[in-house]
Chain A
């Protein structure tokens, strides 16, 4: 093929995908907005007022965002050492770690979530082990608790955190850390002033992916959380399908979307500032 230049491109090439996205993304989003503005007898912000003045709804929103933060922190704390190990390992170990990280992605989320039901159940692995070891007499309630949801989601979403971290740490020159220690910096200081800033783009990207994926993870939330714990995706479904209240469901979706976008914007801002720093 005789391309003009490797860097040059024809903007018309973006047309197919552009029109595809416009048709299947922008139009439905606009429809969602219009539906959310419907009130009983006309158009207005009634549905939004209903949500924002209702403690129960606000608690669901707050609980969902808190869940996202908890899962993101868990993934970051557990994933960072793994990514660090990956960056510092020889070639064969790198492949092994990559395989272990990617392995969960090869199984469906439903299957992984059911595995967590087996692990957390009254007669699950954890309870059986604890009872067997004589540490507890009656099985603990682990399934259908927020802790259970966080644990399951952290495992399910872990690759989304580790992969960007691996990419960021892999790009960092290992000589930089060595240079820092030669210049007299301790392990902690090296990590804080050299490794962390270099890993920042990966951390931001990982947090973004993990957060958005876990607040919207309907399957894991409802299967491990159960019918007593309500998160935003299930709330939307309940209003739209069980109650047939499309305008309110649309308004909840828009509010949820805006909240997630705010978090995304804050994280991107943080990312831009950290890049400026490096």
Chain B
């Protein structure tokens, strides 16, 4: 290899990196926007191999990013979207549907759609996973496990409570749940804001995202907070003293939906990936240690820590989990975020 060919190939490689369109113009691998952290790890380990098996080793690229970033990227290039399969929390999922960024899911051809829990059956993109939110606490400093959302207001925990702001699904879902607890609803969160105002003196931290909440437990900055079941597992595995408990009012559950992007060049591969994610085999594997992802397919036999901590079977899940009406929530969420900015400012 002489200097000139080296230079040419280096320039080509650089151009391909700078303008991926050149190299992917004909056939690009399926691009799946998963979430960062444990999601990416779990999908890489379980979902990707299952997809490769189902598609005779078709190419796939994981491009982890937040729901809102997926929407921004697809909106910016509707005709040539950089993502084939989107993964969404309930709020952004409905926005993606409303803005026409996703294709209807080919429900008739799906082998698994009919087996999903009713709440997971979304014809514009079914839910392959649930995220479950309860109370996270430090068992070394809080000896009697909390049992209710109301325990956050316990004067004993003054200066040790953490929450997140409303930018996250967790923060907004929590506000709605305490609003419901005090007589409000998705349409009226005033009681929730009143309760938050009372919580303010107890707060040690209002994290700007749920990830920051985790590091605050690690630092001993907070001892109790609303928390995601799966986020806690990572901390526990690292030896941080945290426990998770479902409050007696019921844990909040968010459906995490997968969508085929409109104008995707790979609709068939996208369908195969989502089918793999809905299959009982993949969902059963994802439910095991260390991922502990809550399944949405009723054919999955619940077992292990998920069965013990969350629900022993699909029927209980359907009854016990608190699902929220995110279509209603989305209507006013912007106003709530503005209100939270003002009322909770430090």
Interface residues of A (CB under 8 A from B): 56, 114, 117-118, 121-124, 138, 141, 143-145, 222-223, 225-230, 234, 238, 240-245
Contact = CB atoms under 8 A, between A and B. Distances in A.
Given A144-B206, A228-B206, A245-B334, A117 B219 contact: yes
B220 A227 contact: no
B204 interface: yes
B215 A227 contact: no
Contacts of A121: 216, 219-221
A244 B76 CA distance: 12
Interface in B68-84: 68-69, 71-72
Contact of A122 (B206, B209, B219): B219
Contacts of B219: 117-118, 121-124, 143
Given A122-B219, A227-B165, A241 B69 contact: yes
B22 interface: no
17 contacts: A114-B215, A117-B215, A121-B216, A122-B220, A122-B221, A123-B219, A124-B219, A144-B346, A145-B346, A223-B212, A227-B208, A227-B209, A227-B212, A228-B346, A229-B345, A241-B66, A242-B167
Contact of A228 (B333, B334, B345): B345
A90 to B, nearest CB: 42
Interface in B181-220: 203-209, 212, 215-216, 219-220
A241 B72 contact: yes
B164 interface: yes
A212 to B, nearest CB: 22
Contact of B207 (A124, A145, A227, A234): A227
B296 to A, nearest CB: 26
Interface stretch (B124-132, B264-272, B336-344): B336-344
Interface string B161-187: 000111100000000000000000000
Closest 6 CB pairs of A and B: A228-B346, A123-B220, A227-B165, A121-B219, A227-B206, A227-B208
B184 to A, nearest CB: 22
A225 B344 CA distance: 14
Contacts of B334: 243, 245
A44 B273 CA distance: 46
Please report whether the interface of chain B is mostly helix, strand, loop or mixed according to DSSP. mixed
Contacts of B337: 238, 242-243
Given A241-B69, A242-B167, A122 B204 contact: yes
Given A117-B221, A144-B206, 13 more contacts: A122-B204, A122-B220, A122-B221, A141-B159, A144-B204, A145-B346, A226-B208, A230-B341, A242-B167, A242-B337, A243-B334, A244-B68, A244-B95
B208 A222 contact: yes
Nearest to B75: A244
A19 B278 CA distance: 49
A89 B241 CA distance: 50
Given A122-B204, A227-B206, A242-B68, A56 B342 contact: yes
A241 to B, nearest CB: 5
A243 B167 CA distance: 9
A141 B344 CA distance: 17
A227 B212 CA distance: 10
Contacts of B68: 241-242, 244
Interface in B103-124: none
A117 B334 CA distance: 30
A223 B205 CA distance: 11
Contacts of A223: 208, 212
Contact of B221 (A143, A225, A234, A238): A143
A234 B205 contact: no
B205 A226 contact: yes
B337 to A, nearest CB: 6
A144 B215 contact: no
Given A123-B220, A230-B345, A245-B334, A143 B205 contact: yes
Contacts of B209: 227
A234 B341 CA distance: 11
Contacts of A138: 159
Contacts of B206: 144, 226-228
A56 B215 contact: no
Contacts of A118: 219
Contacts of B208: 222-223, 225-227, 234
A244 B219 CA distance: 33
Contacts of A228: 165, 203, 206, 344-346
Nearest to A56: B342
Contacts of A229: 345-346
Contacts of B71: 244
A107 B197 CA distance: 39
Given A123-B220, A144-B205, A56 B341 contact: yes
Interface in B87-114: 95
Contacts of A234: 208
Nearest to B72: A241
Contacts of B342: 56
B212, B334, B346 pick with most chain A CB within 10 angstroms: B346
A127 B298 CA distance: 50
A118 B219 CA distance: 6
A118 B221 CA distance: 10
Contacts of B345: 228-230
A114 B212 CA distance: 10
